[in-house]
């Protein structure tokens, strides 16, 4: 058996087309364009690549984009003042602060500073709390992107045994909440978990979000399981690596996502969907 490779690029392209058509209709009706503000702090090369990709996505679907590139030496107070100004800017529906941030910046305070109604990254405690209470508002982009991909390929979630490997605030934890909300029985594995491999072997759906190249091998996967590789690491050769040993695992799994081209494009399109959702609320445009 060789797994079906799920192409996130193709799915995301279809969704962007739907968003672009809706934005054209809004503009024709006299509404302003949805607006996304992205704040980039410092000169991290990977972050700069991600921000350029987000700007291209905005251009493709017709969003207004506002990219602010701040010095790596920006103070906490100046960064937060900039966020507050965007909170009050009526042309901006969504605000994203690109991570990682310099060590002297308190990332939690930055997230808390964003208006929850413009938190299109889905990181604010208000939005994570809404998801935990089964009343989602803005859903964290990477977990939402995974769910969009799984829904697109017709996965039936009810009763699935799922494991999420990794428990970060931005991916692992909300990913577990998403799968729980969808009707899965969910295990979250983390650095204190004993024998993660054995737990993974019992799962119908494996989502790895650790950022450790090659962590998940074929002996971790139940034959026919679905494998979603969220981990992404850039090697010294500039090549991107996932958590999953792709070539070996695809011979065991029924479906698998590649790195790159799997979850990454879905994360970006989830950001566009969240921005569209925020614009609907601000512009009072119905679905």
Catalytic residues: 54, 98, 121
Beta strand ranges found along 60-215 (DSSP E): 64-70, 94-97, 161-165, 185-189, 205-208
Asked if 142 and 171 count as a contact pair (C-beta separation under 8 A), the reply is yes
Classify residue 244 by its DSSP letter: B
Tokens, residue 283: 């512009």
Biggest alpha carbon distance in the chain?
58
Question: Strand 226-229's sheet: what is its strand order?
Answer: 4-5, 255-256, 226-229, 205-208, 161-165, 185-189
Residue 29 CB neighbour total at 10 angstroms: 9
Asked if 256 and 249 count as a contact pair (C-beta separation under 8 A), the reply is yes
Question: Strand 64-70's sheet: what is its strand order?
Answer: 64-70, 35-41, 94-97
In angstroms, the Cα distances linking 165 to 155, 175, 196 are 19, 10, 8
């Amino acid at each position: 058996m060789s797994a079906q490779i799920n192409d996130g690029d193709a799915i995301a392209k279809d969704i962007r087309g739907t968003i672009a058509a809706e934005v054209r209709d809004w503009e024709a009706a006299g509404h302003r364009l949805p607006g996304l503000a992205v704040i980039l702090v410092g000169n991290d090369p990977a972050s700069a690549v991600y921000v350029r990709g987000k700007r291209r996505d905005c251009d493709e679907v017709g969003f207004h984009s506002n990219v602010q590139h701040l010095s790596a030496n920006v103070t906490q107070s100046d960064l937060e003042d900039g966020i507050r100004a965007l909170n009050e800017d009526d042309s901006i529906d969504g605000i994203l602060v690109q991570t990682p941030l310099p060590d002297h910046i308190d990332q939690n305070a930055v997230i808390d500073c964003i208006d929850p109604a413009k938190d299109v990254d889905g990181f604010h405690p208000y939005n994570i709390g809404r998801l935990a209470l089964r009343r989602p508002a803005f859903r964290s982009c990477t977990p939402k992107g995974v769910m969009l991909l799984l829904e697109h390929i017709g996965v039936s979630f009810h009763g699935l045994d799922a494991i999420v490997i990794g428990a970060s605030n931005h991916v692992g934890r909300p990913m577990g909440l998403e799968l729980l909300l969808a009707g899965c029985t969910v295990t979250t594995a983390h650095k204190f978990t004993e024998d993660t491999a054995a737990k993974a072997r019992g799962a119908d759906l494996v989502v790895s979000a650790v950022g450790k190249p090659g962590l998940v091998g074929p002996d971790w996967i139940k034959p026919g399981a679905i494998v979603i590789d969220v981990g992404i690491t850039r090697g010294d050769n500039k090549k991107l690596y996932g958590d999953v040993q792709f070539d070996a695992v695809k011979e065991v799994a029924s479906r698998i996502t590649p790195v790159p081209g799997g979850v990454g494009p879905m994360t970006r399109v989830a950001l566009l969907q969240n921005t569209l959702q925020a614009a609907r609320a601000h512009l009072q445009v119905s679905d």
